[in-house]
């Protein structure tokens, strides 16, 4: 009877030990799994970070390229504008010189016109002569008045 009890106790002990071992192994497995998961997460995070960094660098590079292109385009536009302005200014200078020459010719014409105006003034002098004629007419009127006076004198006589 005692032997049976001992056997059962031993069995139980062994079972307990086994259970403990199993529990320990399970715990270890769980820990390992957790660690693995953590490691995987960390790796994923690192990978994601690297990918993000690469993406950021690529984006920055793209932005820099675009900015460079824009700067080059702006420089080209400015150069074109400057060239056009220079051409226009040079062209305007040529036109101004031509206009100045034409203006000199116009001045000569104006001088001729002034001479014509002087001729017109001479005509005005002729008009003055006409005025003198009018004065003569007035003198004639005076003579007529004198005649009338003479008539009165005759009447008195």
Secondary structure (DSSP) of 36-101: HHHHHHHHHHHHHHHHHHHHHHHHHHHHHHHHHHHHHHHHHHHHHHHHHHHHHHHHHHHHHHHHHH
Number of helical H runs and strand E runs in the chain: 1, 0
pLDDT classification of 24: cutoffs 50, 70, 90: confident
**Dist CA 98 CA 91 (whole Å):** 11
Average pLDDT over residues 28-33: 87
The 10s digit of each residue's pLDDT in 113-155 is: 555 555 555 555 555 555 555 555 555 555 555 555 555 555 5
Q: In this predicted structure, which of 15-19, 79-83, 98-102 has the lowest mean pLDDT?
A: 98-102
Share of the chain above pLDDT 90, in %: 9
Q: What is the pTM of this model?
A: 0.28
């Amino acid at each position: 009877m005692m032997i049976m009890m001992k056997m059962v106790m031993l069995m139980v002990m062994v079972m307990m030990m086994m259970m403990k071992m199993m529990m320990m192994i399970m715990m270890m497995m769980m820990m390992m799994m957790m660690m693995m998961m953590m490691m995987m997460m960390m790796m994923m995070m690192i990978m994601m970070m690297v990918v993000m960094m690469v993406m950021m660098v690529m984006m920055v590079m793209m932005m820099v390229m675009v900015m460079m292109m824009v700067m080059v385009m702006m420089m080209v536009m400015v150069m074109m504008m400057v060239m056009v302005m220079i051409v226009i200014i040079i062209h305007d200078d040529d036109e101004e010189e031509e206009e100045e020459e034409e203006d000199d010719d116009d001045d000569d014409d104006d001088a001729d016109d002034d001479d014509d105006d002087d001729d017109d003034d001479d005509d005005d002098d002729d008009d003055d002569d006409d005025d003198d004629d009018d004065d003569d007419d007035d003198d004639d009127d005076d003579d007529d008045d004198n005649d009338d006076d003479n008539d009165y004198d005759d009447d008195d006589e």
